[in-house]
A and B are shown apart, each in its own frame.
Chain A
Amino acid sequence: MKKKLAGIINISISNILSIKRSLEHIGFNVIIIDQYQDIDKLDLLVLPGVGTFKEAMKKLIENNLLKLIEKAIQKNKKVLGLCLGMQILFEEGEEFGLTKGIGFFKGKVENFNKYKVEANTLIGWNNVRFNNKNKLLEQHALVANKFTNNFFYFVHSYFVKTDDENIEVANSTNGEVVYSSIVKKDNVLAFQFHPEKSGENGIILLKNELINL
């Protein structure tokens, strides 16, 4: 069987090797996308994320990659956003000044430091609660049951809380803040955590969600 092809958007400051390795591990061929190109052959487009909202958007615009992402969404390609890659799919970010995001999901990205939280920068394993009201429950409950626990690895100082129950698949908590940790709409799926750094849980999740596209 021919391997599926994933393209990872390269926003130079990101560590994309781990994402590449995890996708290869579950059976993808992986290419790195540095500039605008034809995406017809892609089965999956990944928006990785380490860095700041502002820098990421700037790089995407400069390298004409924003257009590529919008095209992938339009063409109903499977798109995966990770961490900052999830946040930029929302409307607006406030990291180092207000910046307009891709706006696929409704909501804005906020800083933890305005709230009573356990950590302004959350580094570590946090619980991911799958949302019972979500219509994707059945599918995700299947996934959840295969985990030995619901811990995934997070690194973030900013978060999104979407008001749209239809898109929030799972949420997590930092002090008084409950934020969205998995969102999904149409063919776009995004995680606030790093599945490529979440041990076997992350690998199982990626496999279940991506390989049987």
Chain B
Amino acid sequence: MIKRILSRIDIKNTFLVKGMHLEGLRVLGYPEFFAQKYYNENIDEIIFQDVVASLYKKNNLPSLIKKISENVFIPITCGGGIRNNDDISKLLINGADRVLINTGAVNNIEFVKDAVRTYGSSTIAVGIETQKIDNKYKVFTESGRTKNDIDAFEWIKKLQDIGVGEIILSSISKEGTGRGFDLDLNEKASKVCEVSLLAHGGAGRKEDVYELFNSTAVNGVVIAAAFHHNYFSELLKKKEISMGGSTSYLNSENFINNFSLNIKELKKYLKSKNISIR
């Protein structure tokens, strides 16, 4: 199978936000602009994550994806605050193809089992946020706020046993840094994971993505900030930054240049390195 390149768009209220280590969220702009741009540049899939839904127990995604699905014809995964089948149905009927459950799975595994039976394995993905504590990868929930005494690899095995179709593995220590992937984590995970595994957290340069695919067996990569920075720098050049972002931290050219990926260029590079992609 070919490797998948996914864009992740984090949502707070109606804005696209991005933080570091899942914290310190800043508003970057309107998610629909970013989604359309990535679609036009041939992204394989998009993940929308409501990063405060779990905390505030509400979800703004259904109305957003309903709008986006008018013009974006690729698979859409939605996550954030999913607790029951009603939450899932609401997302699916509004244009999502798959849902991403994290906190809801740790709190109630029976819910995930039931969701797999109701919607099928391929509709249910579980997100695992992990960080090394005392040399062991532990599972975190509530967007990295709550630590659980669960081993990440044992958790992967458990989830695939109950029929979860896809695992999206986020490295909290790498997330939003652009300093490369946690290859050790992704290699170990891809050895135990028999279902689709996507790596998230750390993409900054195209070489990082190549290294990930070359040294681990993950099925795809999830990239957020690096794509956003690239798009944002284009907007800066065109002086079109009055699009809803409070983004002074990005105005430094150096920051953008060192931590930025263009989808088309990334794909061209990976193809030149014989990585099988679309």
* A residues adjacent to B (C-beta < 8 A): 13, 15, 17-18, 21-22, 25, 50-52, 118-119, 121-126, 149, 151, 153, 155-157, 174, 194, 196-200, 202-203
Pick the contact of B97 from A25, A156, A197 — CB < 8 Å?
A197
Whether B122 lies near A119 (C-beta < 8 A) is no
Pick the contact of A197 from B4, B74, B166, B278 — CB < 8 Å?
B74
Q: Enumerate the 5 nearest inter-chain pairs by beta-carbon distance, A residue then B residue, closest first.
A: A151-B278, A155-B122, A125-B278, A15-B92, A197-B75
Contacts of B16 in A (CB 8 A): none
Known: A122-B1, A151-B2. A51 touches B120 (CB 8 A): yes
* A149 to B277 alpha-carbon distance, docked (Å): 11
14 contacts between A and B (CB under 8 A): A13-B119, A17-B93, A17-B94, A17-B95, A22-B73, A25-B70, A51-B119, A122-B1, A123-B122, A124-B220, A157-B122, A198-B73, A199-B73, A203-B73
Interface status of B219 (Cβ within 8 A of chain A):
yes
Contacts of B66 in A (CB 8 A): 17
Taking A123-B166, A198-B73 as known contacts, 16 extra A-B pairs with beta carbons closer than 8 A to each other, sorted by chain A number, are A15-B95, A15-B96, A15-B97, A17-B69, A18-B73, A25-B70, A50-B119, A50-B120, A52-B120, A119-B196, A121-B165, A124-B219, A125-B4, A151-B2, A156-B122, A157-B120
Known: A17-B93, A199-B42. A125 touches B123 (CB 8 A): no
Contacts of A198 in B (CB 8 A): 73-74
Interface status of B39 (Cβ within 8 A of chain A):
yes
* A126 to B165 alpha-carbon distance, docked (Å): 17
Chain B contacts with A in 183-221, Cβ cutoff 8 A? 195-196, 219-220
* A121 to B193 alpha-carbon distance, docked (Å): 13
Interface centre among A119, A122, A156 (most CB of B within 10 A): A119
Interface centre among B71, B75, B92, B119 (most CB of A within 10 A): B75
Contacts of A151 in B (CB 8 A): 2, 278
* A200 to B165 alpha-carbon distance, docked (Å): 26
Residue in chain A with minimal CB distance to B196: A123
Nearest-Cβ distance from residue B79 to partner chain A, whole angstroms:
16
Nearest-Cβ distance from residue B140 to partner chain A, whole angstroms:
25
Nearest-Cβ distance from residue B261 to partner chain A, whole angstroms:
19
- B 42-74 to A, binary, CB cutoff 8 A, 1 in contact else 0: 101000000000000000000000100111011
Whether A119 lies near B73 (C-beta < 8 A) is no
* A126 to B1 alpha-carbon distance, docked (Å): 7
